[in-house]
Amino acid sequence: MSRFAAPIAEQIWDMKYRLKEADDTPIDADVEATWRRIARALAEVEKEPAKWEDRFYAALEDFQYLPAGRITAGAGTGRAVTLFNCFVMGTIPDSMGGIFEMLKEAALTMQQGGGIGYDFSTIRPRGALVEGVAADASGPLSFMDVWDAMCRTIMSAGSRRGAMMATMRCDHPDIEDFISAKADSARLRMFNLSVLVTDPFMEAVKADADWQLVFGGKVYRTLKARDLWNRIMRATYDYAEPGVIFIDRINAANNLNYCETIAATNPCGEQPLPPYGACLLGSVNLARLVTHPFEDDAALDPARLDEIVATALRMMDNVVDASRFPLEQQRAEAQNKRRIGLGVTGLADALLMLGLRYGSDEAAAQTEAWLKQIARASYLASVELAKEKGPFPLFEAEGYLASGNMMQMDDDVREAIREHGIRNALLTSIAPTGTISLYAGNVSSGIEPVFAYAYTRKVLQKDGTRTEEEVVDYAVALYREKFGTNAELPAHFVNAQTLSPLDHVKMQAAAQKWVDSSISKTINCPEDISFEDFKDVYMKAYETGCKGCTTYRPNDVTGSVLSVSDAEPKSAETPVLVSEGEGSAEVVYMSEPLERPQTLEGATYKLKWPDSEHAIYLTINDTVIGGRRRPFEVFINSKNMEHFAWTVALTRMISAVFRRGGDVSFVVEELKAVFDPRGGAWVKGKYIPSILAAIGGVIEQHLIAIGFLEGEGMGLKSDPRAQVVNLDGPRGKACPSCGQYEMRMVEGCMTCASCGHSKCSG
């Protein structure tokens, strides 16, 4: 029998984690082979590899312990990839040479798929004097635009995507520009943004006191702290960014505050890290550890939890030695501190199995108890590792015990650390687990509530057709298996749509008490929440001990959350094409590919690339929707056989994008951004960075000629906002990976419920 609890789980495994040859031939015969590959790779650094391989396999079996996706996909493959998820880059120097050296390091890290964080507070503000060149500084936002372009270029070159986080202190003179940057929906789209909020600032907000914006000891401006806070809140209310990071609390709670200062986090915020800090992630699947679910004696098996935690910790410690690192500084930082981020997933499902309502006082208390048990088990297991393999190199007993979370740790754990040291400086974190949760049978994600009991997903079959399948939450499926498919769900079954924002905050605060890093969590807010109530969510998060706060309120910029039904989930209705008046020529977004008419009109273009023996011919055919001509398909041909494979791939991919409908002008933007490291060419007096960029230019000229684009480098000729009629209510934005209208905010990251695509991971 298959180990997978749902068809979607097997598909996620096959698509993202199964080891395959370059031609897509499977190497991992089944998921057991995947578990064995990971177990063997992480046991290789042990003195008794065979013994530990079997123990590691037992922890992985049946999805009890879930290493992060990069470990699952990369361990034991022999490929040049990092097994670490999170990196914070070095401190950016306030000099042109230093800034671009940091840009190069970021590109090298992103090539290997690492998500990176940067603090841009160290760059002098816009308009500040640049000594020696008689010029004014352009400010940190201008350099963030450069980083953004770099990330797009790395992605265009075919590298696995890694997201970026940019932070800025609340007292930086350019903080207001930083806060409003995402008001332009086309700007900084490769970044998540968060403001580093200090304790003095929060006290000034409460007191309605003045607040100074300072750089290099110079006061640039004084304003009311409450006015600045309201600007942060209004931006987040209107377009979901920036997030808020309580940076002083992070540094005060850091076990390593005796030897490091933190000013940035990884893209989803669960890992505050020092310069060149790196962390790897993994999660214990609580939903798999509940005995007698939905019965009076339902309980989470404490002995099995301790056993899984200890084994998982050893596996993660071994990753530090088994992984590659993009930069030497990252390797040194990881090995000197050996920090890991062991967390949980399936928390909400586990609570449901015990009869507890997510967001209730009882559920919060149970969450705190489970996280404390995991913290104790982690620290004690790390002490045992220190006895065997030695503590982390920068360990200093008195400094460590007097800092951070260690001040509240139980006395027996503190004494064990004092006597033997500890192998890993920090041990716990709640990471985004969207994809691995699907892989584990659609258990609830991280410490999030169940988002939807069920939804319909379109699945691409091998013959190219699509079938619909119902994806059911793991706990719901288990309940109905136990009590009948038509059994009514008990009252304690709640989901993200029915919870109040303060229930979310309560659960985050309960978990944070025993998590020594931080938590990736989204607090869902209803669209009609008042601005004052919205601000109260952030103040409550600060007052209850959270290290940061990320909310999601449906809005015009980010779109709506996935519309779901609480009872019997229905298949999504097909969107209807609409036109608002004669000649309006609206852009129409489709969740299904456009049908191809029998005949299409088009044009063929000849592209001659210097030093190439044969020309490339592009044929672009168009269709007409709502009275407007738009691109439908592309054919790219050349007699140069060196071009054959990539021209066929490009033909298929661009045509697939065009047939989705909507604003496809981004194809031009992405192609024109591709550069060839061997050099571009001058064509008709203009430098073109690559042959792919030249193809993008030809497509752009065609789109201008048919009236789809206004002009070169310009946007759509009409309003690009989608006009979609959905009989079941509002939808989110279309997924850039599969085209389905099922993007939703999960654990601080826009994630597709249909295919698992996430803005924050590959």
List the catalytic residues.
Answer: 266, 268, 270
User: Helices 531-543 and 225-239: crossing angle, nearest 10°?
Assistant: 110
Under the phi-then-psi rule, with left for phi > 0, alpha for psi from -120 to 50, and beta for the rest, what region is 26? beta
Q: Are the C-beta atoms of residues 272 and 332 closer than 8 Å to each other?
A: no
Please report which helix (H) or strand (E) contains residue 153, including its range. Answer: helix 140-156
Taking the C-alpha atoms of residue 147 and residue 353, their distance in angstroms, rounded to an integer, is 46
Strand pairing report for 272-273 and 264-265: antiparallel
Structure tokens at 237: 């209310």
C-alpha 556 chain-centroid distance: 21
Strand pairing report for 724-725 and 576-577: antiparallel
| Three-state SS at 167 | strand
C-alpha 271 chain-centroid distance: 12
Around 731, how many Cα atoms within 13 Å sit in the side-chain half-sphere?
24
Under the phi-then-psi rule, with left for phi > 0, alpha for psi from -120 to 50, and beta for the rest, what region is 64? alpha
Q: Are the C-beta atoms of residues 89 and 106 closer than 8 Å to each other?
A: yes
Long-range contacts of 295-300 (CB under 8 A, 24+ apart): 298/353, 298/354, 298/355, 299/354, 300/350, 300/354, 300/370
Please report which helix (H) or strand (E) contains residue 749, including its range. Answer: strand 749-752
Structure tokens at 447: 């410490």
Under the phi-then-psi rule, with left for phi > 0, alpha for psi from -120 to 50, and beta for the rest, what region is 571? beta
Taking the C-alpha atoms of residue 689 and residue 681, their distance in angstroms, rounded to an integer, is 7
Entry field: residues in the chain: 762
Closest CA to 56 of 29, 30, 75: 75
Beta strands in 546-639 (DSSP E): 548-549, 551-552, 576-577, 601-607, 616-625, 628-638
Burial class (CB in 10 A: 0-12, 13-18, 19+), 51: exposed
Q: Are the C-beta atoms of residues 282 and 312 closer than 8 Å to each other?
A: yes
Around 696, how many Cα atoms within 13 Å sit in the side-chain half-sphere?
21
C-alpha 463 chain-centroid distance: 31
Closest CA to 612 of 649, 647, 651, 643: 643
Structure tokens at 635: 């054919």
Q: Are the C-beta atoms of residues 446 and 344 closer than 8 Å to each other?
A: yes
Burial class (CB in 10 A: 0-12, 13-18, 19+), 335: middle
| Three-state SS at 530 | coil
Closest CA to 674 of 153, 146, 110: 153
Taking the C-alpha atoms of residue 271 and residue 277, their distance in angstroms, rounded to an integer, is 9
Closest CA to 594 of 561, 558, 631: 631
Q: Are the C-beta atoms of residues 211 and 226 closer than 8 Å to each other?
A: no
Taking the C-alpha atoms of residue 755 and residue 562, their distance in angstroms, rounded to an integer, is 13
Taking the C-alpha atoms of residue 526 and residue 505, their distance in angstroms, rounded to an integer, is 15
Q: Are the C-beta atoms of residues 635 and 647 closer than 8 Å to each other?
A: no
Cα distance between the two ends of the chain: 30
Taking the C-alpha atoms of residue 16 and residue 69, their distance in angstroms, rounded to an integer, is 8
| Three-state SS at 278 | strand
